[in-house]
Amino acid sequence: MRVLLVGNSGTVGSAVESLLLQRGHQVTGVSRTSSPALDTSDLRSVSSFFAERSSAENRYDAVVVAAGGTPFKALAELSAEDFGQALNAKALGQIAVAQAATPLLSDGGSITLISGVLSEIPVPTGTAASVANAAVEGFVRNAAGALPRGLRINAVSPTVLQESWEAYAPAFPGAVPVPASAVANAFIRSIEGIETGQVIKVW
């Protein structure tokens, strides 16, 4: 398959890219620092990236996002701007990618977004992340029934990765981290499988 992977240089994205390549897929990785660049937090960047690829030779079989971060702060310290930033960086950017990529996907192709365990399991500093992850999952559940041409859409929801545990452990009391390879396999399940409208949990 021809796969567009947003965030291929990250902790999650690099594991997804390695597994896709191992499985014989052709991967185009993009991020804010790639050339050409794609910044999911800038809706103009998203629309111009896909508009420039609107010709028939730029078809993808799968579009995958493994990017987007959210502020981690105690609820009392979270401002309206923090919630806006979380929603923009994690949810609206991924939704914009899904919408702009839809015309470029081949029939029966797929979109895979990323959410996270905090949509369902709260942690003390994770309120903004919980809101943004839940928005991603709500979009996926609805869009699955509305996409044309047999296109599918899922979200992968990881808990903290072992590779990120050192940075995130204080924010996730009692969590059991998972290897990036397990998260990468959840993306493969979405890309190569037949599921749609699912939140594929890795926790």
Ligand X SMILES: NC(=O)c1ccc[n+]([C@@H]2O[C@H](COP(=O)([O-])OP(=O)(O)OC[C@H]3O[C@@H](n4cnc5c(N)ncnc54)[C@H](OP(=O)(O)O)[C@@H]3O)[C@@H](O)[C@H]2O)c1
User: Taking CB under 6 A as the criterion, which residues in 147-176 touch ligand X?
Assistant: 158, 160-161, 164, 168
185 counts as binding ligand X under rule CB under 6 A? no
CA–CA dist 94, 56 (Å, integer): 23
Element (H, E) at 50: helix 43-51
Which 76-95 positions form the footprint of ligand X (CB under 6 A)? 89-90
The yes or no reply on residue 116 touching ligand X (CB under 6 A) is yes
Residue 12 vs 62, nearer CB to ligand X? 12
38 scored as a contact of ligand X (CB under 6 A): yes
Tokens of 95: 């939704």
Length of the chain: 203
Neighbours of 83 (CB within 10 A): 16
126 binds ligand X, rule: CB under 6 A: no
Distance between CA 109 and CA 53 in Å, rounded? 17
Q: How far is the CB of 171 from ligand X (least distance, A)?
A: 10
Task: Evaluate whether 165 touches 177 at the Cβ level (below 8 Å).
Answer: yes
From candidates 3, 4, 5, 7, binder to ligand X by CB under 6 A = 7
Q: What is the DSSP letter of 98?
A: H
| Interacting residues toward ligand X by CB under 6 A | 6-13, 31-33, 38-41, 66-69, 89-90, 114, 116, 158, 160-161, 164, 168
